Structure 1
Amino acid sequence: MSVLLVILGFVLLVVGGEYLVRSSVALSFKFNISKMVIGMTVVSFATSAPELLVSLQAALSGSPEIAINNVVGSNIANIGLVLGITAMVGTIVVDKSFFKMNWPVMMLFSIALYYFLQNDNLLSSIEGGALFVALILFLIYLIRKAKKDQLVEEVDETLAIVSNFKIVTWLLIGGVALFFGSEWLVEGAKAIAISIGVSQAVIGVSLIAFGTSVPELAASIIAAAKKEKAISLGNLIGSNIFNIASVLGLTAMIKPIPVTAQEILSNDILWMLGFALILFPLAFLPKRFEISRYKGFFLVIGYGVFMFLVFTNGK
């Protein structure tokens, strides 16, 4: 029954996330918000909704280790699994914004999260608020820079002519699916952790984190196979920044998140920092400005080692 709950939870999160993105974009067009701003803010927040609901549900139901490791594990999976497999399908080009902005900001947010948690074993409401405010400032900077550089995010223009009835219907479907999906996923994950004798932190950093990364992985592989540039290093780094600042930031603002499993600080979050850190030399060596197939293979092997150690240590 717990496995069924997890599967149904994942399905509802994917469905709910998709409908929330559609309705949010359509609603933004109604308010005459530009495509660029919609792509950089509305879509980014909407696609973080499943992770946010899972972390919030976990924190409110007394499982803070799932709340934290959902984000930590997703960030590891984004680089080790999603980026690794995508690079194995086709080489990913690294643009200059990676060195100038994306990577340094991701490292800054990652280190800030580690400091906040390590300092007093708690991500407080003030610290969560600081992360979220920093994200807003970062987005304002990106929007201004994008206007200057005349960059436009890809947003589905057909959503500009959607009726109000459809928007409300999509919002309701998305909201209900996300609510029940997050509730069933967390409850099912807790039950699985008990039945196989591992901690909730292990389930959070593995099963739940992997599940919330599956839609992104599927989209990335399809885009790479079609030789499309829909996936980039910037997309994945942006997702990691949003996971820390919006998912954990907003969750902590609603309910402070304590560190109840010390392995999160002594192991899991160090792996997250390690995967983030390794991207810099990988982008340079030995062939500059690209993540090649064998670099992707190296990342996937690293992710495999991480998952093996997570379950063999048992925590």
Structure 2
Amino acid sequence: MGILYILLGLVFLVIGGEFLVRSAVGLSFKFNLSKMLVGLTVVSFATSAPELLVSLQAALDGLADISLGNVIGSNIANLGLVLGITALLGSLKVDRDFFRFNWPVMVLFSMALYLALLNDSVISRIEGIGLFVGLLVYLFVLIKRTRAKRITENEEIENATNVVPKTSYFKIILWLIIGAAGLYFGSELVISGATTLARMLGVGDYAIAVTVLAIGTSVPELAASVMAVIKKEEALSLGNLIGSNIFNIASVLGITAMITPIDVIDPLILSSNIFWLLGFAVVLLPLALIKPFKIFNRWKGLLLFGLYCVFISLTVLL
């Protein structure tokens, strides 16, 4: 049954990714916003929904280490697995905002998570509120920056999504609902199937949270990013991943901690995994700066994917 759930879940994810990209492109035309901004906000929020639901349920069930492990593992998967695979399928261009704003903010939130855990091994309600308020400030500044720039680039309309500026709001909202629902149910099926298989192989709860569960909740990001590359909407792909990592820390852990404080139960979180998270976040800058400049191409994608395989191997073996 595990394999059947995974296969069925992948079908839902492909459908969800297709419609989510359609709605995102439609929104970018309607509000004259850059596709990077839409990827950083609308797409990121939709693809982060599985992490939020899984983390909230785990925290309410008293499994805080699974909640924290899921977010840390998911953020690592976003940059190692998802960005790696996406770059292998097609080169991703990096814009100025990546260097000036989006990447620094992602690293800042990652550091904030590290410092919160280093302080007393707990993400308290106050720290949860701080993370969530930080997200609101980030969104405010992000939208203000975009509107100030008055983006008027003539982005190509003719693409496989067939989205045109005249698309109605009803259609865009319908596509968004279908896309989000497809990603949600698809991820649920993938998580259920993968967890069943992992337990059959004797993998522990925390290892499942950081690996299988994290990969499962990152599958929506993978589906949306891959579909964005296929549709030649690379800006959506990179923006989705950076935004998703910010949303995971600020909203998922922030909201979860506001409901119930998150304690570090497994020492592996502070001794290893948090440093993998910081490492993947930081390494994006030199990769974007070295030749080919401002491009994540296949060899960079292979490097990220290879590092992620090392992380998974060490986590399972330890």
State the shift of 1:290 in Å.
1.6
Q: Give the counterpart letter for 1:274 in structure 2.
A: G
Distance 1:132 1:237, change over 3 A: same
Query: Any conservation in 2 of the 1:11–1:181 contact (CA below 8 Å)?
Result: yes
1:263 maps to 268
User: What residue in structure 2 maps to residue 63 of structure 1?
Assistant: 63
Partners of 1:221 and 1:172 in 2: CA distance:
18
Change (3 A) 1:159 1:65: farther
CA distance in 2, matches of 1:94, 1:127: 32
Q: 2:241 aligns with which of 236, 256, 262?
A: 236
Contact preservation (8 Å) 1:56, 1:67: yes
What aligned pairs does 1:96-245 form with structure 2 within 5 A after superposition?
96-151=96-151, 158=167, 160-161=169-170, 195-245=200-250
After the TM superposition, which of the residue ranges 271-280 and 283-292 deviates more from structure 2?
283-292
Task: Give CA-to-partner distance per residue, 1:243-285, whole Å, 9 cap, x none.
Answer: 1101111111111111111111111111111111111111112
Cross-structure match for 2:159: none
> Which whole-Å CA distance do the structure 1 matches of 2:250 and 2:91 have between them?
29
Whole-angstrom distance in 2 between the partners of 1:203 and 1:296: 25
Q: Deviations over 1:156-197 (max 9, x none)?
A: 97461369xx97xx979978x96x989888888777666544
Mapped to 1, the partners of 2:171 and 2:252 lie a distance apart of 29
> Percent identity, aligned pairs only?
53
TM-score (normalised: structure 1): 0.78
Match of residue 279 from structure 2: 274
Inter-partner Cα distance in structure 2 for 1:99 and 1:46: 24
| Shift, 1:75, TM fit | 1.0
Tell me the alpha carbon deviations over residues 126-145 of structure 1, each in whole angstroms, 9 at most, x when there is no partner. 10110110110011011111
Q: Distance in 2 between matches of 1:98 and 1:173?
A: 26
Contiguous gaps of at least 5 residues in structure 1: none
Task: State TM-score, norm by structure 2.
Answer: 0.77
Query: What is the correspondence of 1:13-28 to structure 2 with a 5 Å cutoff?
Result: none
Query: Which residue of structure 1 lines up, in the alignment, with residue 47 of structure 2?
Result: 47
- Classify 1:171/1:97 alpha carbon distance in 2 versus 1 (closer, same or farther; 3 Å): closer
Q: Is the contact made by 1:146 and 1:152 (CA closer than 8 Å) also made in structure 2? A: no
**Aligned equivalents of 1:105, 1:263: Cα separation in 2:** 25
1:193/1:200 contact within 8 Å kept:
no
Hey, what does 1:84 align to over in structure 2? 84
Structure 2 CA distance for partners of 1:257 and 1:4, relative to 1, 3 Å: farther
Residue 255 to residue 215, structure 1, CA distance change in 2 (3 Å): same
Question: What amino acid does structure 1 have at the position aligned with 2:55?
Answer: S
| Cα distance in 1 between the residues matched to 2:179 and 2:229 | 30
Deviates more, 1:275-284 or 1:208-217: 208-217
Number of aligned residues: 303
Distance in 2 between the 1:308 and 1:248 partners?
26
The answer to which of 63-72 and 106-115 deviates more is: 63-72
Deviation (angstroms), 1:223:
3.3
Confirm whether residue 297 of structure 1 aligns to residue 302 of structure 2: yes
Checking the alignment, whether the CA contact within 8 Å between 2:17 and 2:220 is kept in structure 1 is: no
Q: 1:151 to 1:69 in 2, by over 3 A?
A: farther
- Kept in 1, the 8 Å contact 2:13–2:223? The answer is no
Letter in 2 for 1:126: I
Q: Which amino acid in structure 2 is aligned with residue 303 of structure 1?
A: Y
Give the residue type in structure 2 aligned to 1:113.
L
Go from structure 1 to structure 2 and tell me whether the alpha carbon gap of 1:229 and 1:185 turns closer, same or farther (over 3 Å shift).
closer
SS at match of 1:252: helix
- 1:208 Cα deviation after fit: 1.2
Q: Using the TM superposition, give the Cα deviation of residue 65 of structure 1 relative to its aligned residue in structure 2, in angstroms.
A: 1.7
Match of 1:208, SS state, is helix
- Check the 8 A contact 1:84/1:298 in 2, yes or no: yes
Give secondary structure in 2 for the equivalent of 1:261: coil
Q: Kindly report the root-mean-square deviation, in angstroms, between the aligned alpha carbons of the 2 structures.
A: 3.9
User: Which blocks of at least 5 consecutive residues in structure 2 are unaligned?
Assistant: 156-162
